[in-house]
Each structure stands twice: as structure tokens, then as C-alpha cells.
Amino acid sequence: MRLKGKVAIITGGASGIGRSTAELLADEGARVVVADVDDVQGQAVVDALRRREVEAEFVHTDVRRTADAERLVARTVERFGRVDVLVNNAGVNILGDVVEATEDQYDLMMDTNVRGTFLCTKHAVPVMRRQGGGTIVNVASVAAVVGAHRNVVYDASKGAVLNMTRALAVDHAADGIRVNCICPGLVDTPMTQRWLAGQAHPDEIRRYGLLQRPARPEEIAQGILFLASDMSSYMTGGYLAVDGGFLAV
């Protein structure tokens, strides 16, 4: 078991990649805190973990809100005494070019994807520092390093997450905190179903990379496990593309 006795927070853990990550990290021995705005699905993930005798908690969290991020970390420490792993996975994507995208959509994507990562990390780092270390995995996207049609705000937000990862790694290496980023290609999740439904440009639909299929969420969770655990002990400030070869061409 790669995470025996560790405590892991997964934001956006109610669905898709976050849900698979909660399940895999639990399989590897972690006690798991699922944080999400979706109380029904989030509690269902936790209930399913508990049926497998995993120690798990759901904490209602809107990662855009300071008080929620603070409470998420406080509840985790109250319940489990520590925070070893933070997976900043909660994210949203609304299609639109710069003319189509509204300011409200801009705020929603930047606040969830960037501010949410900032706030949860802000409150987790002091706990990790006191413990002598931890790992943070930010879920960015291949959209952090390439542009896609009608994805202008999302691409900007994921680029910010990628470079925030590097800056966090610089600041907290001396605290024993490793910070890395995962860049998935297209993954078969509810987000992708919504994204493909609104995507008119044929090139986008072909964008599965060399493997010609979307990833299963479990395949992204394996990359997150690698970055969260000692398997990646010599890695910080980096990114791992789990993209079916998307960035290779």
C-alpha cells in the first residue's frame, strides 16, 4: 500500500476524476476527505468507501470561498489529525471564445480553477509544514500548455494552475512539501460529455491523442497516486501529462 496511514483531501471528489482518485487513494491505504459542492454525490462516494471499511468524510466545500477552504482543512485535522495529501481537482469548463464568454463565466472558471487551488493550498500548507511535509497534486490539463478552440478562459485558468504549481514548489521545497501538476487529455467524465456536446469544431472531437480514445478516470487517478505518493519522491514543480499522446503530436 502506497499511502498507508496517510490522510488525503480530494476537492471535486464527488464525480469523475476526483471520485476515482478518492477510491484509488483509499485502496492504497489513505483516509480520505471528499470535498465538493455536490452534497448528494459527495456523500454517496463517502458512503460507498465506508461500506468498504475505509475511513472517509464528506465536507461540503465551495473551493471559491475562503471560509469553506479553511473549514475543509480544519475539519480534516479535527477528524484525522493531519493532512498528508491535497488533490486540487475541483474544476469547471464552459466553452466560448473571447467574444462569446461572459464575464460571469470568466469569474466562475478563474475562481474555481485558480482561486480554489490557491485557497485550499493556502490553508493546507501550514498544517503540512507543521508535520514536516506533504504532497500537493494540482489537476491542470493539456489545456495548460496548448490552446483549444472556444476554450479561452479555461486554457488561461489551467495555464495559471501549472505555473502556480511551480511557484508553490519553489516556496515550499524547504518545508518538505512537494507540489506537482497532472495534465490529463480528454477523460470520459461528466465534464467531457458536456464539453463534447457543445463542441462544433471537428478537430476537437478527434483530440484523443495517439491512443484514439478518451482516458478512463481511473487512468488519471493512477497518475495522481504517483504524484501523491513516494513513487514520485524526486519530483516537484513538475507536470505529468497523462494524455494518450495528445501533446506528442
- List contacts with ligand NAD (CB under 6 A): 11-12, 14-18, 36-38, 61-64, 89-93, 112, 116, 139, 141, 184, 186-187, 189-192
- For residue 119, the minimal CB distance to ligand NAD (Å) is 10
Beta strand ranges found along the chain (DSSP E)? 7-11, 31-36, 56-60, 85-88, 134-139, 177-184, 239-242
Closer to ligand NAD by Cβ: residue 34 or 176: 34
What are the two backbone dihedrals, phi and then psi, of residue 46, each rounded to the nearest 5 degrees? -65, -40
Least Å from the CB of residue 71 to ligand NAD: 12
CA 52 and chain centroid, separation: 23
Q: Please identify, using beta-carbon distances, which residue of 3 and 35 lies nearer to ligand NAD.
A: 35
**Pairing mode of beta strands 85-88, 7-11:** parallel
Q: Which is nearer to ligand NAD, 36 or 219 (CB)?
A: 36
- Decide if 208 contacts 185 (C-beta within 8 A): yes
Active site residue 234: no
Give the 3-state secondary structure of residue 13. coil
Query: In this complex, which beta carbon is closest to ligand NAD, that of residue 129 or of residue 247?
Result: 247
| Shortest spacing between CB 55 and ligand NAD, in angstroms | 21
Closest CB 132 distance from ligand NAD, rounded Å:
28
CA 116 to chain CA mean position, Å: 10
Length of the chain: 249
The distance from CA 47 to its chain's CA centroid, rounded to whole angstroms, is: 21
Q: Which of 106, 154, 208, 234 is catalytic?
A: 154
- Catalogue the active-site residues: 154
